[in-house]
Amino acid sequence: MAPSLEPARLYTDCRLATMRPDRPGLGVVEAAALLTRGGRIVYAGPAADLPAAEARDAERVVCDGRWITPGLIDCHTHLVHAGDRAHEFELRLQGASYEEIARAGGGIVSTVRATRAASEDDLVRQTLPRLDALIAEGVTTVEVKSGYGLDRETELRQLRAARRLGRERDVDIVTTFLGAHALPPEAQGDKAAYIARVVDDMLPAVAAEGLADAVDGFCEGIAFSSDEIARVFEAARRLGLPVKLHADQLSNLGGAALAARYGALSADHLEHTDEAGAAAMAAAGTVAVILPGAFYFIRETKRPPIDLFRAAGVRMAVATDCNPGTSPMTSLLLALNMAATLFRMTVDECLLGVTREAARALGRLSDVGTLEPGKAADLAVWTVERPAELVYRLGFNPLHARIRRGR
């Protein structure tokens, strides 16, 4: 056999949480070996069954019993934005609510002002430290939304900045157009006219530059109605772009069911989702993206109906929702602990939620999210005795190594 020019690596003395869907729980393999070549996984399974001939030329990496998981996936972030909202945080400490601040012209709109004033370089420079914090925890895929421009130029600039992150760092960036995030001040309350701009002006420009992998909206009393979101989803469908939705976060406007009706990849937040919404999501295969950071930060008390999702068979992902207003969080590991502690999600649900199910929520399950032959060699190697430690600790990072595309 001629030696392959593509670099191969063999990880030995390791334990795997493969996250394979055809195995129970985390798809654990003890006494495992994992072989990568040319940036893809060639073998992930019992060391005893390793096809020795395929591994002959591989560089060997002895893992001393460490655990390997797929590289983590943060499937819901608003990472690209300018400025911060620490002052509003102080106001909230004095008793103001998130909705009061939003209605008084603060909230999302204050980040819109800062983002409009920022150049693409500024946006990249301000975002890289947040991205680096995620990367330091073994994250290899990050979804990034627009939605702080609310005009064509700034929305495009945010998405270009997001794409650039993927060139400045060794990470996969998946972008989402969130023009229907909030009503900009210049719209003077005319939601219909603004939605028409999103549909007829912004979205076609975004699609023409190939800047969005999906389209999102905020279906909420302080944002857009389900009819308004439906218009955005119709436009996305015409352009062949998948959709997802900020649904039922502060109230139940039927967002989960709306998302399901459009075959959404995911519906996100879902604190107020009811049984009918959960059933619709299950039937559509729409993933529930659970965002405990926002719940925690705005001191929400209504928990997402995890039991309903379990009973209906809805898949659950977990993400940071990193944003300056409701979840200024750049730790996916902390999100895991919050999902378990606040929502009683199990360790397996949490860890599947930042790997396999997060990949599914991004429409990337055929490429990432599990340790299976043919998938990208995006790996995280952890110095832990058992996978539960990744969920159990607060503010401790046991990452030993992060491998992206085999390197």
Q: CB under 8 Å to 219, separation ≥6 — which residues?
A: 225, 226, 229, 245, 246, 247, 248, 253, 255, 258
The verdict on 323 binding ligand DI6 (CB under 6 A) reads: yes
The verdict on 107 binding ligand DI6 (CB under 6 A) reads: yes
One residue of 174, 294, 308, 376 binding ligand DI6 per CB under 6 A: 294
* CB 352, min distance to ligand DI6, A: 23
What per-residue string of b and e applies to 246-260 under the rule 16 or more CB within 10 Å gives b? Answer: bbbbbebbbbbbbbb
* CB 189, min distance to Fe ion, A: 23
One residue of 325, 328, 353, 369 binding ligand DI6 per CB under 6 A: 325
First to last CA, the chain: 24
For residues 12 and 154, which CB has a smaller minimum distance to ligand DI6 in the complex? 154
Q: Which does 326 bind (CB under 5 to 8 A by kind): ligand DI6, Fe ion, none?
A: ligand DI6
The verdict on 146 binding ligand DI6 (CB under 6 A) reads: no
The verdict on 382 binding ligand DI6 (CB under 6 A) reads: no
Annotate each residue in 300-339 with x if it binds Fe ion (CB under 5 A) or - if it does not, as one string: ---------------------x------------------
For residues 267 and 281, which CB has a smaller minimum distance to Fe ion in the complex? 267
Report residue 57 as tokens. 């030329």
Report residue 44: phi and psi, to 5°.
-145, 105
According to CB under 6 A, which residues from 214 to 233 bind ligand DI6? 218
Q: Are 34 and 41 in contact (CB under 8 A)?
A: yes
Q: Which does 402 bind (CB under 5 to 8 A by kind): ligand DI6, Fe ion, none?
A: none
* CB 216, min distance to ligand DI6, A: 8
For residues 27 and 325, which CB has a smaller minimum distance to ligand DI6 in the complex? 325
For residues 213 and 321, which CB has a smaller minimum distance to Fe ion in the complex? 321
Instruction: Please state, in angstroms and rounded to a whole number, the distance separating the CA atoms of residues 395 and 351.
Output: 17
According to CB under 6 A, which residues from 147 to 186 bind ligand DI6? 181
Report residue 337: phi and psi, to 5°.
-65, -40
For residues 172 and 321, which CB has a smaller minimum distance to ligand DI6 in the complex? 321
* CB 297, min distance to ligand DI6, A: 9
For residues 176 and 226, which CB has a smaller minimum distance to Fe ion in the complex? 176
CA 113, 114, 120: angle at the middle one, nearest 5?
A: 115
For residues 12 and 326, which CB has a smaller minimum distance to ligand DI6 in the complex? 326
The verdict on 111 binding ligand DI6 (CB under 6 A) reads: yes
What per-residue string of b and e applies to 175-197 under the rule 16 or more CB within 10 Å gives b? Answer: bbbbbbbbbbeebeeeeeebbeb
3-class SS of residue 84 = coil
DSSP letter assigned to residue 175: E
Only segment of 117-125, 133-141, 321-329, 355-363 that touches ligand DI6 (CB under 6 A): 321-329
**How large is the greatest C-alpha to C-alpha distance in the chain, in angstroms?**
71
Number of residues that bind ligand DI6 (CB under 6 A): 13
The verdict on 246 binding ligand DI6 (CB under 6 A) reads: yes
Full 3-state SS string of 90-147:
HHHHCCCCHHHHHHCCCCHHHHHHHHHCCCHHHHHHHHHHHHHHHHCCCEEEEEEECC
Q: Which does 108 bind (CB under 5 to 8 A by kind): Fe ion, ligand DI6, none?
A: ligand DI6
Give the C-alpha distances (Å, rounded to integers) separating 354 from 68, 181, 190, 200, 290. Answer: 14, 24, 38, 35, 10
Give the HSE-up count for residue 318: Cα atoms under 13 Å, Cβ half-sphere.
32
Neighbours of 120 (CB within 10 A): 14
* CB 180, min distance to ligand DI6, A: 10
3-state helix, strand, coil in the chain (%, to 5): 40, 20, 40
For residues 9 and 181, which CB has a smaller minimum distance to Fe ion in the complex? 181
Q: Which residue is nearest to ligand DI6 (CB)?
A: 325
- Number of helices followed by number of strands (H, E) in the chain: 16, 15
Q: Which does 324 bind (CB under 5 to 8 A by kind): Fe ion, ligand DI6, none?
A: ligand DI6
For residues 81 and 402, which CB has a smaller minimum distance to ligand DI6 in the complex? 81
**Contacts with ligand DI6, residue ranges (CB under 6 A):** 107-108, 111, 181, 218, 246, 249, 294, 321, 323-326
Residue ranges that bind Fe ion, judged by CB under 5 A: 321
